[in-house]
Structure 1
């Protein structure tokens, strides 16, 4: 690890230690020593002792590291230039569905909200449970769907942590396969958007403070034109990586036969923007006390959706093979629209 990389990791550790978030973000205490202190010792040792100080310290960070590796491989295949040693992508409770670049020493520190990953996984899981899929009936009815979503959003608004909602049952079979594909595509888009800023050398216009239930942290803001560009590049990174997603599944023949990796690659980026839009709308209806107001540094998620969807459509129109169905992003939007009038009072009741 270079001296510059060490400084970058120290910037992250300083944020984590400042807010007392070591156990929540980078793993529990091991052998009587906190993970942050253990990392500090590693950083002060030789480079040969340990190359990646964040690896293996948190299950969720491990998942994030896998998505980062996929984004970096796709970025290189597209000819994007960046120095991976000077980019660190790590968890933080931002209270926002977007990933952000944070001020750091000698590198690019990308913060991905733990809550955003939870919202993506849990709401998509509820959708998988509520839908008729692959000839199988829905697992839950409308009232149960609204209740489960309300639990997740209320936990997010109240605690900044949707994982505090009642635990959902595990999915099996092809529903589980589709959920993994969608969640992974959404996470790659969050990360890929920030890598697009790094590779494009988009200038920092200003700083803003994001607040959550646990902390407040400064992040960089950029020009809206650069945000739209990062959406476009981030989506292309996901689309370029869809073959990796298909090959990694336990039933790749089923995935390929139904074009699920392509569907997920088209849907994941749009779902991040859709989830951001749903949060905007819910907060506008509920006026949640203490909930961080929607960050103004990004364009409105509805405008981002309108700008990105033609890019997705054009990508598949250019393919030699027949385009896979692109109905799922619009179907997910209609799903939220259909439930919204019941969802608002259900969330309000849980926050009362």
Structure 2
């Protein structure tokens, strides 16, 4: 029973659902392709052209790109070593062979797939791996930070987010939004930190299920509304989902062990922000999906996002160095919530165009 065997099962599942024939190592480098080159270009093209481009995502979704899937898998692979170390530090080490593989599930949660005689395969949605970094990048550049003016004019934040959520909701995990400009310096450091911890939290939540033995009392649940048809996952019930959130948060907080008080004060708010952002995105996606008539796969398998956030905040409040960390996270969530009406307006305009 090895991780290599789980990697093979992952590729087999990709083939069965006709997503990709394989993920060849070293094939994950992507070309620059269609992208914004400067922040002044983002969401600034004429409205008809923009609506046409966003509508094309709904009418002609692209095929799954092996290079894109490989790049996303590389992200998961690169983070896995540190994540296992953090779990060990938190006393939550997983001894069962465990592998996180990219897959177009259409769900904001990782899906646990026990493989008898092999281990546990966790499917992490390819769309989620697009959504998290894009939303965070827009959030960072459209807010004043590090004593600098926003790189993206605040009025363009909602239309930029609309493109990202349009691709997530209608691109089936195969289509990402037009690539955003690169960041540098402190902006880039902050983006990397938050994307890393947000992605790791998703996988750590599934690791927590394995560590806590939740899968032993689980049951199979099938949803036919995924981008690739019917998929199975192991449902464990809401109480165990709350527990897994708390255990995963504890694993993330282990990354602060041994750092200086000054460094912890600087990093902790954004670590907490990244963890809670994952659940905030669950809520935003649910709201947008309902408004546009879409169904989010496996939505009923977890508690409502707002209840998960409340439960997790109660846990974090007892384990943080300063309560200001939660205040920073709340500010980020409020910023996102305030732009949801603008995002909805754009999605409805695209719907009319389509």
TM-score class, shorter-chain normalisation, is 0.7 to 0.9
Equivalent residue in structure 2 for 1:8, among 6, 9, 33: 6
Matches within 5 A, 1:127-142: 127-142=139-154
Contact persistence 2:223–2:230 (CA under 8 A) = yes
Give the corresponding residue for 1:249: none
Equivalent residue in structure 2 for 1:205, among 219, 224, 228: 219
Higher deviation after alignment, 95-104 or 270-279: 95-104
Give the corresponding residue for 1:279: 285
1:347 aligns with 2:347: yes
What is the CA distance between 1:119 and its match in structure 2?
Answer: 0.7
Give the corresponding residue for 2:102: 91
Give the corresponding residue for 2:305: 301
Find the aligned partners of 2:203 and 2:230 in 1 and give their Cα distance.
21
Matches within 5 A, 1:1-352: 2=1, 5=3, 7-22=5-20, 26-27=23-24, 58-83=70-95, 86-106=97-117, 107-161=119-173, 164-202=176-214, 203-209=217-223, 211-242=225-256, 259-288=265-294, 291-293=295-297, 295-316=299-320, 319=321, 325-351=325-351, 352=354
Higher deviation after alignment, 13-22 or 224-233: 13-22
State the Cα deviation string for residues 256-300 of structure 1 (Å, max 9, x = none). Answer: 558342122211221110000000111122213xx5456211111
Contact persistence 1:11–1:105 (CA under 8 A) = no
What is the CA distance between 1:27 and its match in structure 2?
Answer: 4.3
Find the aligned partners of 2:257 and 2:166 in 1 and give their Cα distance.
36
Find the aligned partners of 1:328 and 1:210 in 2 and give their Cα distance.
38
Q: Which runs of 5+ in 1 are unaligned?
A: 31-56, 247-252
State the Cα deviation string for residues 3-52 of structure 1 (Å, max 9, x = none). Answer: x65653343222111122226x724897xxxxxxxxxxxxxxxxxxxxxx
Q: TM-score, normalised by structure 1?
A: 0.80
Contact persistence 2:204–2:248 (CA under 8 A) = yes
Contact persistence 2:220–2:234 (CA under 8 A) = yes
C-alpha RMSD of the superposition = 2.6
Aligned length: 308
State the Cα deviation string for residues 198-231 of structure 1 (Å, max 9, x = none). Answer: 0111021332326333443211111211100000
Find the aligned partners of 1:174 and 1:190 in 2 and give their Cα distance.
25
Find the aligned partners of 2:224 and 2:276 in 1 and give their Cα distance.
23
Q: TM-score, normalised by structure 2?
A: 0.79
Contact persistence 1:8–1:105 (CA under 8 A) = no
State the Cα deviation string for residues 47-95 of structure 1 (Å, max 9, x = none). Answer: xxxxxxxxxx9332122122222221111122224225x2111110111
Structure 2 CA distance for partners of 1:210 and 1:222, relative to 1, 3 Å: farther
What is the CA distance between 1:325 and its match in structure 2?
Answer: 3.6
- 4+ residue segments displaced more than 4 Å: 4-7, 27-30, 255-258
Structure 2 CA distance for partners of 1:162 and 1:241, relative to 1, 3 Å: farther
Find the aligned partners of 1:127 and 1:29 in 2 and give their Cα distance.
31
Structure 2 CA distance for partners of 1:350 and 1:104, relative to 1, 3 Å: farther
Find the aligned partners of 2:89 and 2:224 in 1 and give their Cα distance.
33
Give the corresponding residue for 1:47: none
